[in-house]
A and B are shown apart, each in its own frame.
Chain A
Amino acid sequence: MSKKPKEIIEDLGKDLTKEVLANKPPIMDVPIRALSNVTYDKKSRTLQLGSKKSERNFFNVAHSKKFLQTLEVAAASKELLEVGKHTSLRDVFYMIKRTIPNTKINIVDEQTESDDAIEDLEVLTGLSREQLNINANKMGSVAGHVVIEDKGDEIDWSRMGSGGWSIPSNVEEIKFKKVNAKYVIYMEKAAVWERLHEDKFWDKQNCIIMSSQGQTTRGIRRLLQRLSQEHSLPIYVLCDGDPYGYYIYSVLKYGSINLAHMSESMTLQNAKYLGITVDDIEKYGLKKNLIAFKEVDMTRLEQLQNYEWFKDHKEWQRQFKMMKTLKAKLEIQALSSRGISFISDKYLPEKIKNKDWLD
């Protein structure tokens, strides 16, 4: 990309102004971010945004507010880029939140509206929100024998105390100085990460451990991708043995509907699902720790079964089928029933050694 983000944003404004001055109604063509415009590309094995666009015409009651919101977000972002500062999604909400004079109309009422407008701006300009100087909250920890440079500071991931290094939402500017690890384990649960960290698992196994709380943030996904691509590290994913855990893995590996426009910079082609699998239940004697399915679990499981990328995947279909008959799920922490450090002493080393994972 030769143009700078600030110029791209300005061009968006200039094009619309040109239309207005030529007495043409200003219209934005926003690529549709919905299932109907997302396809699974078998070649790249990622979700891709299609070419469908929806017209956002200012002179259209149904669109005018969204039109204004998108412009406001663009103007806020331009301001950030001009002064070279970063801000959070919440801050952007407050930057544009106000009441139109002499009316009861608020430009935004809730943060979801400004968040939506930011995503629209992303697909309109092809810029990620990090490039627009807008960051999400940081929500993850990492530890391992890695040294990086961030904004001129040298940071050693092995010397960050009990909390580990907290991963920022923009990791583009980070430089890897030294990477001494054989693989990365990414886990769904912060509590599990703390267990492994206390056990110095990353030191003993010479790996990197990383987690966020729940769904993976963009920063973490990007960091994982960089480690995988720039340092050829295998990525292992550790989640609860339930449909939601499977879905976290699915998003990491293939992408999601909302971020289909950024699949290239997000997806992890060679991520492996380490556990918890249904086979683990038998293998590690965890039957008594099963949690019965709720109705929603079953629906989600059936949805997963029908995802295009899982449809022809025999191993996964076998997992789904077994879980369906079992009608129960298993949390990672269930491993603690076999001993507090069972996970770091036995479970993970054995799984990795035996290549006991799903692709």
Chain B
Amino acid sequence: MTKPIAEELAKKQKDISVAEFFERNRHLLGFDNKRKALLTVVKEAVDNSLDACEEAKILPEIQIQIVEMGNDRFRITVEDNGPGIVKKQIPNIFAKLLYGSKFHTMKQARGQQGIGISAAVLYAQLTTGRPAKIWSRISPQDVAHYYELHIDTQKNEPEIVKDEEVNWKKENGVKIELDIDASYQKGDQSVDSYLKQTAIANPHATIIYTNPKAEQLVFPRASDKLPKEPTEIKPHPYGVELGIMLKMLKNTECRTLQSFLTQEFSRVGPGTAKEICDKSGLFTNMKPGELQLPHVEKLVEAIKTTKIIAPSTDCIVPIGEELLEKGLRKEVAAEFYTAVSRSPDVYKGIPFVIEVALAYGGEQPADQPIRLLRFANRVPLLYQQGACSSTKAVVQTNWKPYGLSQSQGAIPAGPLTLVISLVSVWPPFTSEAKEAVAHYPEIIKEMKLALQEAGRRLGSYVNKKRRVADQQERVGIFENYIPEVADALSRLSGTGKERIMESLKKMLSKNKEYIQAHKEAHKVEVRDKKDKEEQVKLGGFEDE
């Protein structure tokens, strides 16, 4: 008797270690290549620091240092002045994947999944074998803790290499040091560029950065005002899919379906809850835990057809027109700046706000495509520009009336830096690497409206500038022509050339009204041209 095949197969079935998982999915986590890995590690650490500072209401001051150690090996140090992390949590936060505080909440933050920093630690471990070094201190009264951590890749648990109390001059904050395989290049997708853009979208933060070339770049804060703290909201029914609904039903402490709906969701009152129950053929007093899969499916369907008011939007904290403009102003040298904040809107029951800012002119090249800077919850998005909804919104906007050149279906060209920022309790990314915002029609529509508003302001500036330039050019033309006209008139009339010239020059300098007849003149030209065309049309023949 042969063994059932399932027995054979069972031999191969086992836990997949996090290391294997990481190896297979490194592209999803932003570690596709050495260059990108450098950026991702810095980004995860900086994002965490900024989130932590803001939560603790501390104006962030973040120091980043990258040192090249040869053989494509780099030492990255990121240090913040945040609240620090209590001793007990340090190993879990840094050396356990999918551990975090943010995944379960509906609140605007940079991080989401609790995967970022521990993935960075794992990457360091896999490429150099070196442990992550962590310093943390929560107050001047407390001692600083120092850890060296590995991740047990079989169990996805922290492995503590060293744990000691140390002297650290910092009163509070966290410092992490990682050795990784990487490569450093300047350019649009570099760490340098990422930090500069971070400074634009976070004008309340000071960032001090020493790059592998030992150049120190300081991005000082432009504002002493901390962003308002985002409030946590409950999920809106429109954004909840079957899987999440099942999990919520299982975890709730509510005793009835009615109370589950009214208490676990935003914008669901007793009336709405009853309507949902009626539509799905369920009793309001059913116990949430007793719902079977078919019931839950009906419930989700019923929600889709029920009118529920949009979620409250005060949970979102946009950067604000003033600060966004300030941020742009300090990092991009230009002639004209403006920023637009839209009011909040909602996609799939999730509130979001679109903000746009632009910097025009200066030394920026006029014949190149504009520079598009994309942000999601104040985090710069450097990759996957083509896949991002903001690119789509830019391309679908007609920039010609605003003084830029643009070919059909392309990013416009001109001396412009354009910032598009999305803030949301849950920004919809196209992948876990958080590189591009997904194409939700509501989001693209808001982006386009913001772009148009900013574009109109740009247009009126560009046109005004053009008018002034025209005016100057016109004066120039007359200055060139005056001696010639004076000469010809003098030859015809016998009056001295100098006298005529003087008089003409006086008219030019004194009275601009003479040369402002431009528009009228243009009309005459057009009429002449029309006549000529008509003539050709009618006569059709050249004579003599």
The interface of chain A, by Cβ under 8 A from chain B, is: 9-10, 12-14, 16-17, 20-21, 23, 25-26, 32, 34-37, 54-55, 57-65, 67-68, 71-72, 74-75, 78-79, 100-103, 105, 107, 136, 215-218, 244, 247, 251, 256-259, 296, 299-300, 303, 306
User: Min CB distance, A149 to chain B, in Å?
Assistant: 27
Q: Which of A63, A75, A215 contacts B491 (CB 8 A)?
A: A75
Min distance, Cβ A292 to any Cβ of chain B, angstroms: 19
A257 vs B480: C-alpha distance in the bound complex, in angstroms? Answer: 34
Asked if A68 and B492 sit within 8 Å, CB to CB, the answer is no
The answer to whether B480 touches A103 (Cβ under 8 A) is: yes
Contacts of A216 in B (CB 8 A): 544
Q: Which residue of A lies closest to B486 (CB)?
A: A20
> Among the listed stretches B255-263, B393-401, B522-530, which one makes contact with chain A, having 4 or more residues with CB under 8 Å of it?
B522-530
Which residues of chain B are within 8 angstroms of A36 by Cβ–Cβ distance? 527, 531, 534
Q: Is the CB of A16 within 8 A of B544?
A: no
List B220-234 residues whose CB lies under 8 Å from chain A. none
- 7 of the cross-chain contacts (CB-CB < 8 Å) are A14-B494, A36-B527, A215-B543, A215-B544, A244-B541, A300-B540, A303-B537
A68 touches B514 (CB 8 A): no
Shortest CB distance A112–B (Å): 11
What residues of chain A lie closer than 8 Å to B160, measured between beta carbons? none
Closest residue to A79 on the B side, CB-wise? B491
Determine the distance from Cα of A45 to Cα of B531 in the docked complex, in whole angstroms. 23
Contact A57 B544 (CB under 8 A): no
**Nearest B-chain residue to A55, judged by Cβ:** B524
Assembly CA distance A36 to B534 (angstroms): 8
Residues of A within 8 A of B532 (CB): 34
Is B488 a contact partner of A75 (Cβ separation < 8 A)? Answer: yes
Instruction: Using A59-B478, A62-B521, A64-B481 as known contacts, say yes or no to A71 and B492 having CB atoms under 8 A apart.
Output: yes
Produce 1/0 per residue, B478-499, CB < 8 A to A. 1011011100111111110001
Q: Hey, which chain A residues are within 8 Å of B485, CB to CB?
A: 26, 58, 64, 67-68, 71
Stretch in contact with the other chain, from B12-20, B111-119, B138-146, B504-512: B504-512
Distance between A68 CB and nearest chain B CB, rounded to angstroms: 5
A71 to B541, CA, bound (A): 29
Known: A34-B532, A68-B484, A303-B538. A17 touches B515 (CB 8 A): no
Q: Nearest B residue to A54 by beta-carbon distance? A: B524
The residues of B that contact A64 with a CB separation of less than 8 Å are 477-478, 481, 485
Is B500 in contact with A259, judged by CB distance below 8 angstroms? no
Contacts of B187 in A (CB 8 A): none
Chain A neighbourhood of B483, CB < 8 A:
100-101
> Chain B residues with Cβ under 8 A from A26's Cβ?
485, 489
Besides A14-B492, A17-B493, 9 new A-B residue pairs in contact (Cβ under 8 A), listed by A number = A26-B489, A58-B504, A60-B514, A62-B524, A68-B488, A100-B484, A105-B480, A136-B544, A296-B540
Contact A72 B488, beta carbon cutoff 8 Å: yes
Interface of A is mostly: helix
Chain A residues, Cβ within 8 Å of B499: 21
Is B271's CB within 8 Å of the partner chain A?
A: no
Distance between A64 CB and nearest chain B CB, rounded to angstroms: 5
Residue of A with least CB distance to B534? A35
Q: Give the Cβ gap from B44 to chain A, nearest Cβ, in Å.
A: 58
Q: In the bound complex, do residue A23 and residue B480 qualify as a contact, i.e. CB atoms below 8 Å apart? A: no
Complex CA–CA separation, A16 to B487 (angstroms):
13
State the Cβ distance, B517 to closest chain A Cβ, in Å. Answer: 5
Q: Within the assembled complex, what's the spacing in Å between the Cα atoms of A193 and B490?
A: 49
A14 touches B515 (CB 8 A): no
In the bound complex, CA of A257 to CA of B540 (Å):
11
Report chain A residues within 8 Å CB of B155. Answer: none
Residues of A within 8 A of B508 (CB): 59
CA distance A121 to B504 in the complex (A): 22
In the complex where A21-B500, A64-B481 touch, is A35 in contact with B543 (Cβ < 8 A)? no
- Is B515 touching A68 in the complex (CB atoms < 8 A)? no
Check A75 against B492 for contact (C-beta < 8 Å). yes
Closest 7 CB pairs of A and B: A13-B492, A34-B531, A59-B514, A62-B521, A71-B488, A13-B493, A17-B493
Q: How far is the CA of A300 from the CA of B504 in the complex (A)?
A: 48
Given contacts A58-B481, A105-B480, A256-B543, contact A17 B500 (CB under 8 A): yes
List, in ascending order, chain B residues with CB within 8 A of A107's CB.
Answer: 484
Q: Does B348 contact A (CB under 8 A)?
A: no
Inter-chain contacts of A296 with B (CB < 8 A):
540
For A60, what are the chain B residues with a Cβ–Cβ distance below 8 Å?
514-515, 517-518, 520-521
* Smallest beta-carbon distance A99→chain B, Å: 10
By a beta-carbon cutoff of 8 Å, the part of chain B in contact with chain A is: 474, 477-478, 480-481, 483-485, 488-495, 499-500, 503-504, 506-508, 514-515, 517-518, 520-522, 524-525, 527-528, 531-532, 534-535, 537-544
A255 to chain B: closest residue by CB: B543
What CA separation (Å) do A198 and B483 show in the bound complex?
58
A215-B504 Cα distance, complex, nearest whole Å:
43
CA distance A103 to B212 in the complex (A): 51
- Residue of A20, A72, A101, A215 near B500 (CB, 8 A) is A20
CB of B333 to closest CB in A, whole Å = 32
Closest B residue to A96 by CB, please name it. Answer: B488
* Residues of chain B within 8 A of A65, CB atoms compared: 481
B491 CB contacts on chain A under 8 angstroms:
13, 75, 78-79
The residue in chain A whose Cβ has the minimal distance to the Cβ of B482 is A58
In the complex the two chains form, is A258's CB within 8 Å of B544's CB? Answer: yes
Give every chain B residue within 8 A of A247 (Cβ-Cβ): 539-541
Q: Are B489 and A57 in contact (CB under 8 A)?
A: no
Give the nearest-CB partner of A244 in chain B: B541
A258–B492 contact, CB under 8 A? no
Q: Is the CB of B489 within 8 A of A16?
A: yes
Decide if A9 touches B535 in the complex (CB within 8 Å). no
Known: A54-B528, A67-B485, A75-B492. A20 touches B521 (CB 8 A): no
User: Is A218's CB under 8 angstroms from B544's CB?
Assistant: yes
A61 to chain B, nearest CB (A): 5
Contact A100 B518 (CB under 8 A): no
User: Which residue of chain B is the closest to A57 with respect to CB atoms?
Assistant: B517
- The listed residue (A35, A59, A75, A78) touching B538 by CB distance below 8 A is A35
B481 pairs with A303, CB closer than 8 A: no
Closest chain A residue, CB of each to CB of B523: A62
Bound Cα distance A211, B540 (Å): 22
* Known A32-B531, A216-B544: A74·B484 in contact at CB below 8 Å: no
Contact yes or no, B541 A300, CB < 8 A: yes
**Across the two chains, which residue of chain A brings its CB closest to B492?**
A13
Give the residue of A14, A25, A68, A259 whose beta carbon is less than 8 angstroms from that of B543: A259
- Knowing A57-B521, A61-B515, A244-B541, say if A23 contacts B492 (CB, 8 Å): no
Please measure, in the bound complex, the distance between the C-alpha atom of A58 and the C-alpha atom of B328, giving whole angstroms.
46
The answer to whether B521 and A23 touch across the interface, beta carbons within 8 angstroms, is no
From B531, B534, B535, B544, contact of A217 by CB (8 A)? B544
Bound complex: CA A16 to CA B483 (Å): 15
Q: Are A100 and B480 in contact, CB atoms less than 8 angstroms apart?
A: yes
Whether A62 contacts B481 by the Cβ 8 Å rule is no
Determine the distance from Cα of A20 to Cα of B488 in the docked complex, in whole angstroms. Answer: 13
Contact status of A16 and B493, CB under 8 A, knowing A34-B535, A57-B517, A71-B485:
yes
Of A20, A57, A107, A296, most B-chain CB atoms within 10 Å: A20
- B492-A62 in contact (CB<8A): no
Tell whether, in the assembled complex, residue A61 and residue B521 are in contact, meaning their CB atoms are under 8 Å apart: yes
Structural contact, B521 and A63, CB atoms closer than 8 A: yes
Residues of B within 8 A of A14 (CB): 492-495
Q: Which residues of B contact A34 (CB under 8 A)?
A: 528, 531-532, 534-535
B492 contacts A12, C-beta separation under 8 Å = yes
Residues of A within 8 Å of B504, CB to CB, are 20, 58
Across the interface, which residues of B come within 8 angstroms of A20, CB to CB?
489, 500, 503-504, 507
